[in-house]
Amino acid sequence: MRLAWAHAKAETLQLVRIPAYALATLAFPVIAVLLFGGRVDDDPERLVAGFTATAVLAIAFFQFGVGVATSRLYTEWETFLRTLPTNPSTRLAGRVISALGFSAVAVVLVGVTAILVYHAHFGWGRLAALAVALVLGAVPFALLGVAFGYWLPPRAALPAANLLFLVLAILGSLWARPPDDLPREADITSQLLPTRSWVEVLDSIATGDHRLPLHHVAALVAWSLVFLALAWWGYRRDEGERFT
Amino acid sequence: MTVVRLAGWIATVVLAVAVAPRIDPLLDEGAAAVPLGICAGAILFAVLARKRISPAALVTVPRERLLARTVVITVKAAHEEAVWRAVLLGVLVGPIGRAGALAVSTCLFAAAHLNRLGPRAAQHLVTGVVFGLAYLVTGRLAAAIGAHAAYNVLIGVGRLSLPDLSVSATGEPARPIVRSSDRSRLFSPRAVLRSAVSSPSVASLVAVSKTFGEVRALDGLDLDVRPGEVVGLLGPNGAGKSTAISIVLGLRRPDEGRAVLFGRNPRETGARREIGVVLQEVSLPPVLRVGELVQLVRAHYRDPVPQSELLERLDLGELARTQIGGLSGGQRRRLAMALALAGRPRALFLDEPTAAIDAGGRRVLWRELSAFAAAGGAILVTTQQLEEAERYATRLVVISHGRIVGEGTVGEIRARVGKATIRLRAEHLPRVPGATVVESTLDRHVVYVDDPERYVAELVRSGIRYQDLEVARPSLEDAFVTLTGDET
């Protein structure tokens, strides 16, 4: 565990020192909230749910997917790390911890913006529950990002992650509640996406309008397991290519 | 270190034995169940390990080492049983019943090994059940200890007695870990302990072959590195040097044959705990600071070298706060060396450590390497710098096209190519066996000799007046070119 922290720290330091990355990741969701927020007549609380999720999703994708993919370019360093007395799970844990840290900062920024600009209102208990749901809900996406990074060639990972990010964000209704007249097929598609499950859970917690949708919680757990398997498989496969 | 750990284990056992009867309703003073436990352990080994112990090879394992190892393994098994069975299982039996306690404690037992063994910890599910049953059925901790110790000792013996481990590649019996001249020291408890935990060979490749597509990179290569040795692995580009190192380190799997690192498979995390590595290319994360990188690597070891000391030693003391992207090539090389030394390794593996480094940096590097070897560490270094190999290596292994073409000390390798050449001016020449006069014009002579020192001694003793004496040994480079049939 101590080792996972050490890897997380090194990972985080590397990202923080590249201002273009750090600023883009942290500023993008805030700008998005300011751009889209005024036009959506959702509750400000639902706005917070959707855009904090967006922020975390972006981190899972671009920090992880692309992070893993490009770190494979530093093969010599990766190879050296493999000679140290530890196994792959430690590095994976390090990456997850680092993503959670980044997410926390991004979420606070979005939350503060929404509270100041759109007068979103949260009790302390609700805020805490939201934070927990964000952190836990980020796990499947972080794993998806890692899987993505390992499965795609480094050069393809960035554009592909962009595309998938947009699809998941829009179809998963992160940026606005789905309209009531949405065709049934489209709604089912949306319901099946992990982003939709996540935002439904966050929505229920943030607004307090309706009960926690347990089937979406179950779906998120299932997605986590699927993505974990994919990430692990991808890692082994990549390792198999380079290290046998 | 070992003594401390051993004492800790014994203390846990004593404590657990004292506490267990109070917490575990099952524990009773049943019949002596140790033989039963040992049988269970032996059967478990036969079923699970599917490894045969060869009695012939076992003879070559020194008996003291076997004994010491058995003692250490038994104490460790007792310690684990005290924790996992007597305390954990015993506590659980009350609230959740025997079957539940067995299941839960076994899962935890396996999970605790996950970090060290990865997916292979799954076999602890089986061993845990057997040890737990030995405990539950007999109601005695000793039975579980017997089973656990028997199983682990057999695994350990199996490892020691593998024929290719205990017999060196040349077919000679392996040098026992304690040489006969050291026998007096053997009976110091320290020496016994050390022999119990160390392995005769630091690293070895046994008949390793590796093919990449069409290219046969290694072709039945045998390599053995022993404590205190500096082995220079020489060979032209593409000879298989880097492939050999990567297999020793567990980075690649051999197609045939096997790699052994401190008596274990190098792909096991624990096997890599006492090695340091410098790879051929150094690409370190550019935005991290020197100190941060050193901290990251140090975090992997139990007792790492303090950062300031490490950086001082490689003349990097001033640079702890510099980002790695701003270092020169030579500084990066030295930093890579610092990372390799961070965990106080017993063996260093260096792939072309002095390529692209200036003379000053090279000196610092070799100073550290010499100190390391002098302190008893083993080094395997690939290099194309024959001069360095000649100066520092205690043994050279020359490979070409994945096979060994020459092996021995620098002198032996040179001798392989032939005789030394002596030129001199003299009225006449002494008669020395093993010397061939190949050229004589007036008073100038050229003589090929096996043993130039002896020839010169004879020359002086003969009283013949001579001048312009020149002795030319074949250079290592001559030897290299002859052996590999290749230009460097």
Tell me whether residues A3 and B273 touch, CB distance under 8 A.
Answer: no
A31 to chain B, closest Cα gap in Å? 27
- Of B272, B279, B283, Cβ closest to residue A84: B272
* CB neighbourhood size of A44 (10 A): 20
pTM beyond 0.80: the answer is: no
Tell me whether residues A10 and B118 touch, CB distance under 8 A.
Answer: no
Contacts of B118 in chain A (CB under 8 A): 87, 89
pLDDT per residue rounded down to tens, chain B (488 residues): 567 778 888 888 788 777 766 666 555 555 457 777 888 888 888 777 665 565 655 665 667 777 877 888 888 888 888 888 877 887 787 778 788 888 888 888 888 777 666 666 778 888 888 888 888 887 778 888 888 888 888 877 766 654 433 333 333 333 333 333 333 333 444 544 554 444 468 899 999 999 888 888 899 899 999 888 899 998 888 888 889 999 999 888 888 888 999 888 898 888 899 999 998 877 888 899 999 999 999 999 988 999 999 999 888 989 999 999 999 888 888 899 999 999 999 999 998 877 767 777 788 888 888 888 888 889 999 877 777 777 788 888 988 888 888 888 877 777 766 677 888 998 888 888 878 787 788 888 888 887 888 888 888 888 888 888 888 877 767 777 777 765 44
B437 to chain A, closest Cα gap in Å? 54
Strand partners, B448: B421, B436
B155-B157-B163 Cα angle (round to 5): 110
Tell me whether residues B287 and A87 touch, CB distance under 8 A.
Answer: no
Contacts of A2 in chain B (CB under 8 A): 299
CB A64 within 8 A of CB A149: yes
Residue of chain B minimizing CA distance to A16: B287
- pLDDT for res A219: 93
Contacts of B251 in chain A (CB under 8 A): 79, 82-83, 243
Read off the amino acid at residue B289: R
Contacts of A13 in chain B (CB under 8 A): 287-288, 292
* CB neighbourhood size of B206 (10 A): 23
Contacts of B295 in chain A (CB under 8 A): 6
Tell me whether residues A84 and B284 touch, CB distance under 8 A.
Answer: no
Q: Which residues contact B194 (CB under 8 A, 6 or more apart)?
A: B2
- pLDDT for res B192: 45
Residue of chain B minimizing CA distance to A90: B115
Q: Which of B242, B255, B287, B333 is the best mutation test for A, with the most CBs of A within 10 A?
A: B287
Burial grade of A105 (CB within 10 A; 0-12, 13-18, 19 or more) = middle
Longest Cα pair distance anywhere in chain B, in angstroms?
106
Tell me whether residues B300 and A84 touch, CB distance under 8 A.
Answer: yes
Tell me whether residues A85 and B343 touch, CB distance under 8 A.
Answer: yes
* CB neighbourhood size of B389 (10 A): 23
Tell me whether residues B251 and A82 touch, CB distance under 8 A.
Answer: yes
Tokens standing for B285? 């994360």
Contacts of B250 in chain A (CB under 8 A): 82-83
Q: Does the CB of B249 have a partner CB in chain A at under 8 Å?
A: yes
* Whole-number Å distance between alpha carbons of A13 and B292: 9
For B:386-405, CB contacts with A below 8 A are: none
Q: Which of B249, B275, B283, B288 is the best mutation test for A, with the most CBs of A within 10 A?
A: B283
- Of A13, A79, A82, Cβ closest to residue B292: A13
Tokens standing for B314? 């490689």
Tokens standing for A226? 């699927």
* Whole-number Å distance between alpha carbons of A90 and A1: 8
Helices and strands, counts by H and E, chain B: 20, 13
- pLDDT for res B448: 82
ipTM: 0.78
CB B19 within 8 A of CB B90: no
* Whole-number Å distance between alpha carbons of A81 and A200: 40
Tell me whether residues B279 and A76 touch, CB distance under 8 A.
Answer: yes
Contacts of B275 in chain A (CB under 8 A): 83
Tell me whether residues B269 and A13 touch, CB distance under 8 A.
Answer: no
Contacts of B282 in chain A (CB under 8 A): 76
For B:116-135, CB contacts with A below 8 A are: 118
Tell me whether residues B249 and A18 touch, CB distance under 8 A.
Answer: no
Q: Which of A87, A95, A98, A239 is the best mutation test for B, with the most CBs of B within 10 A?
A: A87
A227 to chain B, closest Cα gap in Å? 18
Residue of chain B minimizing CA distance to A8: B296
| Residue in the block written with tokens 């319901």 | A191
Pairing mode of beta strands B347-351, B378-383: parallel
- pLDDT for res B50: 61
Contacts of A84 in chain B (CB under 8 A): 272, 297, 300
Residues of chain A below pLDDT 50: none
- pLDDT for res B166: 34
Tell me whether residues A83 and B253 touch, CB distance under 8 A.
Answer: no
Contacts of B284 in chain A (CB under 8 A): 77
- pLDDT for res B151: 86
Contacts of B113 in chain A (CB under 8 A): none
Residues of chain A whose beta carbon is less than 8 angstroms from a beta carbon of chain B are 2-3, 6-7, 9-10, 13-14, 17-18, 74-77, 79-80, 82-87, 89, 243-244
Tell me whether residues B287 and A17 touch, CB distance under 8 A.
Answer: yes
Tell me whether residues B283 and A13 touch, CB distance under 8 A.
Answer: no
* Whole-number Å distance between alpha carbons of B81 and A36: 62
Tell me whether residues A85 and B269 touch, CB distance under 8 A.
Answer: yes
B90 to chain A, closest Cα gap in Å? 28
Residue of chain B minimizing CA distance to A241: B252
Burial grade of B470 (CB within 10 A; 0-12, 13-18, 19 or more) = exposed
Q: Does the CB of B30 have a partner CB in chain A at under 8 Å?
A: no
- Of B272, B285, B287, Cβ closest to residue A83: B272
CB B367 within 8 A of CB B341: no
A109 to chain B, closest Cα gap in Å? 25
- Of B249, B253, B284, Cβ closest to residue A244: B253
- pLDDT for res B110: 83
Q: Does the CB of B72 have a partner CB in chain A at under 8 Å?
A: no
The DSSP-derived string for B179-222 is -GGGHHHHTSHHHHHHHHHS-S-SEEEEEEEEEETTEEEEEEEE
Tokens standing for A126? 């609700």
